[in-house]
Amino acid sequence: MILVTSAYGNNGRKLIPRLADRGLDVRALNLSDKTDKLKELGAKEVIIGNALDSKILDYAMDDIESVFHVGPSFHPQEAEMGISMIDAASRGGVEHFVYDSVLHPQITELLQHKMKLRVEQHLINSNLNYTILQPMHYMQNIHIEDVYKQGVFIQASALETPLSFVDIDDKIEVAVKVLTEAGHYGATYELCCDDNLNAIEIARIMTRVMGKDIKAKLVPKEVIISGFQRAFPEYGDYPAKGFNALFDYYSKYGFIGNSNVLRMLLARNPTILEEYIEKEYKKILK
């Protein structure tokens, strides 16, 4: 059986059906009660509980062969949750622990990267067989329908510095692969598509695909931060610190990666941003 944490998050909602379609038993661990929805996705069992509760975690690890763990970014206790999860997996005799981290966690100026680096280090030093996935931020964070309606692609970091992306569906394909195939123990995989684009270049691609003039626009960091804080008030002021550090870093340095590892794992070319934009634009036209 495979344990998927943050099971009703962006990753879990895509990963659980893929595993279930392969006939694999999935146990879902989620903080809020989404039992019915998780069962509809294909989870055989659902546990509701906090990743900092050792009793819940020990119960969740019973009869588990593999764990897929993704922590809640910008949560002030993300590292503690990941470390607790690793310790519980070790106590439970789990065979394989797959950790969903972030590209370039060694950039410790970025608070969420610093959190994930702590978890990676703890996992590497554990007695578990592990695989670490390091995805770039998802193309799906760009809401194409909103861009089309507004004619504007907004960004809270400098428009001129390049950023990389990955399609979450490509990342999930890799997650299924490492969870179901041999040969991935001890591996750390950077997951990034071919694109290293700045916002102005992205707006040009959107203009070409949509046949409508799309402008790149710099928005105040507070616009993004306030929206996140309204969605997760329980996180306190930590997300503001995290997002401020992130946008300042992106503005100064950009954030790019390399697609070779993802191409190897997929045995095909990774999805590029233009393909994602085309796919989402076609949905608008239906």
The domains of the chain are located at: 2-140+166-194+256-272
Q: Please give the distance of CA 269 from its chain centroid, rounded to a whole number.
A: 20
Residue 145 burial by Cβ neighbours in a 10 Å radius (0-12, 13-18, 19+): exposed
DSSP annotation of 92 reads T
Nearest alpha carbon to residue 129 among 55, 179, 57, 63: 179
**What confidence score (pLDDT) does residue 14 get?**
97
138 DSSP β-pair partners: 166
**What confidence score (pLDDT) does residue 87 get?**
98
DSSP annotation of 105 reads T
Output the six-digit token pair for 274: 């233009």
Secondary element (H or E) of residue 38: helix 35-41
DSSP annotation of 136 reads P
**What confidence score (pLDDT) does residue 106 get?**
96
Secondary element (H or E) of residue 275: helix 273-285
Output the six-digit token pair for 226: 């306030």
Residue 46 backbone dihedrals phi, psi, to 5 degrees: -130, 135
**What confidence score (pLDDT) does residue 25 get?**
97
Biggest distance spanned by C-alpha atoms of the chain:
56
Assigned fold of 2-140+166-194+256-272: Rossmann fold (3.40.50)
Q: Round to whole Å and give the CA distance between 16 and 42.
A: 6
**What confidence score (pLDDT) does residue 96 get?**
98
Residue ranges of the chain with pLDDT lower than 70?
A: none
DSSP annotation of 235 reads G
**What confidence score (pLDDT) does residue 176 get?**
98
